[in-house]
Chains A and B, each alone.
Chain A
Amino acid sequence: MAYEIVDSCVSCTACAMVCPNDAISEQDMQFVIDSTLCTECAGDFDDPQCASICPVEGAIVDELGYELNPLGSLTGIIPLSAA
C-alpha cells in the first residue's frame, strides 16, 4: 500500500510537509514517496494528506496508476477532449 509521485510534480514541497510518516523527500530534483514508509495515511487521517494538498492534477497516483486528483478536479479546467 503506497502512493507514487510522477513527472508532472512541480516540486512545491507541500506533500512532504503534511505527510504524517515522513515518507516524502526530494531525490535528484524529484519528489518521491518511500513505499516502505507510506501507509496511505491509514490510521492517521481519513484522506491521504499528500493528495489532499497537492495542487497538480495527476501528480500523485496509486499502485495501479490511478490518479488521485484526475484532470479537471482541482483547477476546474476541463480538458478539451471532454468538453
Chain B
Amino acid sequence: MKLPVLIDKTVSNPIEQQASGGCSSGSCGSSQQAVNQLPADIQARVADHPCFSEQAHHFFARMHVAVAPACNIQCNYCNRKYDCSNESRPGVVSEVLSPDQAIQKVKAVAASIPQMTVLGIAGPGDPLANPERTFETFRRLSRETPDIKLCVSTNGLNLPDCVEELSQHNIEHVTITINCLDPEIGARIYPWIFWNHKRVRGVEAARILIEQQQKGLEMLVARGILVKVNSVMIPGINDQHLLEVSRVVKEKGAFLHNVMPIIAEPEHGTYFGLTGQREPTHQELQSLQDACAGDMNMMRHCRQCRADAVGLLGEDRGEEFTLEKIAAMDIDYDAAMEKRQQIQAQLLEQLHRQQAGGEVSLPDATLCSSEAQSRPVLMAVASKGGGLVNQHFGHATEFLIYEASPQGVRFVGHRSVDKPYCENSSSCGDGDSVLQTILSKLKDCEMLLCSKVGYEPWSALEDAGIQPDGSHALEPIEDAIQAVYQEMADKDLLSSESETQQQSA
C-alpha cells in the first residue's frame, strides 16, 4: 500500500496524488479537490515558495526589510514600540532602513545567500501606510534585482488606493491581515484608525477598515495578484468568527487563509497582554487551522519569525548584514545573479526530486487493515534543514510537529523554545527548567525524532511519555515518520484508546 505524503506534494503534483488512491477518508478527498481547484500556475508558484511550502522552506529563504515604520491603525495585540504584530512576534524591534539602505542590504544578502528568493517589507508599521518609502523600494528592486520576488503585507486600510501601483511591480503576492467581518467584533480588536484626516474610533472605525480590506481583496483578485489572508486567532473574540472569515475570503479568491495565534504577554505592553487575554492552546489553534486552512496545509511552518531575520529555516544570519558591514561591501549584482541562478537551479531540482519522491511504500498492509482503529500520532522532529532528521536534541531551539495517521504524514506546525537544552558543549542540562519547558511544549507528542539525544534527557523524555528515537538520523523527515508509525503499528501501539489518554494526562 502506498501512503500519500500530505505535504506540499499535494500542491505540486495533484495528479499523482490522486492516482495513488491511498486515501479513503472524506476529508482527504476534499483536500485533493481544493488543491486541484487552484490554477496550475499558482500551484507551481506556491510549491517553491519558502513561506508557503514547508519543504521549499528547507531550500529557499526569504528576507524582510523594514522601511515603513508608520501605521494608520491600532491593533490591540500590538505595541507600536515594536514591529507590526501582524507579521512578526510582538516585542521585536527591527532596524528601520531608508530605501537606499534597504536596497544595499538586499543586494548584499542576495549575493551571499543565493537561496534568498523572496523579499518582503515588514517590521514596524504598515507598508501601505508609507506608500512612498515602500514603493520607492519596490520600484528600485524590480529594476535592480529582477530575480527577487517581492511581497508585501498590510492591514488593508490603504490597500484600495495602492492596488494600481502594486500591479506595476514584480509583486509575488499580497498578504492582508483580516481578523473579522463584523464591525462589532472589530471594535474589540481595533481601538482606532486614522481615516480622512481624523482619528476614528469604535465600531465606525472597524466598519471602515473591514470595508477597505474586502474592497482591496476584491481589487487584487480582479487584477490577478495572488492574495493571502492572515488572521490572528483571539480566543473569545474572533475564534468562532474566523470560520466565516475563511469562507468569505476564499470565496472572494484569496488563495490561502493562514490562522496565527495571538501572542499576548504582559511584558510586551499590549492591550491584550495587559488585560489578560488568553492565548489559544496548541490544540485549539490546530483545530481552527484544520478547519480554515487544513485543506491546503501550507504555512504551518510559519514561525512568525523576526521580521529582519535573514537566512534559511530557523537560522538567523542578520549579524552578518549590519548597516556598517553592508556599507563596506561592493557588490557586483550581475555576477551575483548568475551565480544565484546556477545554485537555485540545483536546489530546485533537489526540491522537486524530494517532492516527487514523497510517496513511500510500506512493507506490508498492516496500516490498511488496522486503518479503522489506528489513531493519529503526533511526532516532534529536530531538524537543521534540508528536510532531514539531522539535529541533535540538545541543539534544537525548535521542533517540527508532524501528525502520522493512516491517511499519511502531515506537517502541523512548529514549536520553539527560547533556549536549547545544551547552551554550549559544557553546559548541557544546566537548567532543569530548560528541559521542563521543552517537555511541556512537546507534551502531546509521542515520539521525538532527532539525530542524537543524551542519556539524561532521554530518560526525562521517556518519563514524560515522549519516546526519543535517534535511529532515523539523516533520513528525510516524512520517510522517517512513516517508518516510525509503521513500527508503532507493528508493536500494536496504535489501536488502544488508552494510549491516547495517557498522553494527555
Interface residues, chain A, CB within 8 Å of chain B?
10-14, 17-18, 45-47, 49, 52-53, 55-56, 74-77
Contact = CB atoms under 8 A, between A and B. Distances in A.
B194 A52 contact: yes
A14 B197 contact: no
Contact of A17 (B70, B76, B96, B199): B70
B191 interface: yes
B74 A55 contact: yes
9 contacts: A10-B81, A12-B125, A14-B69, A14-B72, A17-B130, A55-B71, A74-B191, A76-B271, A77-B274
* Cβ-closest 9 pairs across A and B: A14-B70, A55-B80, A53-B194, A52-B199, A12-B69, A13-B70, A45-B197, A10-B81, A12-B70
**Majority SS of interface residues in chain B?**
loop
Contacts of A76: 76, 191, 271
Contacts of A18: 194, 197
Contact of B198 (A10, A12, A47): A47
- For chain B, the bracket of interface size reads 20 to 34
B406 interface: no
B398 to A, nearest CB: 30
Interface of B: 69-72, 74, 76, 80-81, 96, 124-125, 129-130, 191-192, 194, 197-199, 271, 274-275
**Majority SS of interface residues in chain A?**
loop
Contacts of A45: 197
Contacts of B271: 75-77
Contacts of B80: 10, 12, 55-56
A52 B191 contact: no
B192 A74 contact: yes
A14 B71 contact: yes
A52 B196 CA distance: 10
Given A74-B192, A76-B271, A77-B271, A53 B69 contact: no
A61 to B, nearest CB: 17
A82 to B, nearest CB: 14
A75 B80 CA distance: 10
Contacts of A77: 271, 274-275
B197 A47 contact: yes
A42 to B, nearest CB: 14
A53 B198 CA distance: 8
